[in-house]
Amino acid sequence: MSPARKLMATISNSLSITHGLSLWCPHFSSLNRTLHSPSLPSGRSFQRRRYVVASSAFANENREFVIVGGGNAAGYAARTFVEHDMADGRLCIVTKEAYAPYERPALTKGYLFPLDKKPARLPGFHTCVGSGGERQTPEWYKEKGIEMLYEDPVSNIDIEKQTLTTNSGKQLKYGSLIIATGCTASRFPEKIGGNLSGVHYIRDVADADSLISSLGKARKVVIVGGGYIGMEVAAAAVGWNLDTTIIFPENHLLQRLFTPSLARRYEELYQENGVKFLKGASIKHLEASSNGRVTGVKLEDGSTIDADTVVIGIGAKPAVSAFESVGLNNTVGGIQVDGQFRTSIPGIFAIGDVAAFPLKMYDRVARVEHVDHARRSAQHCVKALLSSQTHTYDYLPYFYSRVFEYEGSPRKIFWQFFGDNVGEAIEIGNFDPKIATFWIDSGKLKGVLLESGSPEEFQLLPKLARSQPIVDKAKLQQASSVEEAMEIARISLSD
Give 351-373 pLDDT, tens digit per residue.
999 999 999 999 999 999 999 99
- Please choose, from the candidates 415, 384, 379, 411, the residue with its C-alpha nearest in 3D space to the C-alpha of residue 395: 379
| 269, pLDDT greater than 70 | yes
Q: From residue 71, how far is each of 30, 164, 180, 292, 304 by CA, in Å? A: 34, 19, 7, 32, 37
| 7, pLDDT greater than 50 | no
Which burial class, exposed, middle or buried, applies to 201 when counting CB atoms under 10 A from its CB (0-12, 13-18, 19+)?
buried
DSSP type of residue 360: G
Q: State phi, psi for 338 to the nearest 5 degrees.
A: -100, -170
Computed over every residue of the chain, the mean pLDDT equals: 90
Give 70-85 pLDDT, tens digit per residue.
999 999 999 999 999 9
| 40, pLDDT greater than 60 | no
User: What integer is the mean pLDDT of 179-195?
Assistant: 97
Residue 125 pLDDT:
96
Residue 494 pLDDT:
87
Residue 495 pLDDT:
74
Give 41-61 pLDDT, tens digit per residue.
433 334 333 333 444 689 999
> Is 218 within 8 Å of 248 (Cβ atoms)?
no
| 103, pLDDT greater than 60 | yes
- How many angstroms separate the CA atoms of 286 and 224, rounded? 11
Q: Which of 6-20, 230-244, 297-311, 451-465 has the lowest mean pLDDT?
A: 6-20
Residue 56 pLDDT:
60
Give 227-261 pLDDT, tens digit per residue.
999 999 999 999 999 999 999 999 999 999 999 99
In this predicted model, which residue has the larger pLDDT, 354 or 10? Answer: 354
Residue 1 pLDDT:
52
DSSP, collapsed to helix, strand or coil, labels residue 257 as coil
pLDDT band at 273 (very low <50, low <70, confident <90, very high): very high
User: What integer is the mean pLDDT of 389-402?
Assistant: 95
Q: How far is CA 136 from the centre of its chain?
A: 18
Quick one: what percent of the chain has pLDDT higher than 90? 87
User: What integer is the mean pLDDT of 90-95?
Assistant: 98
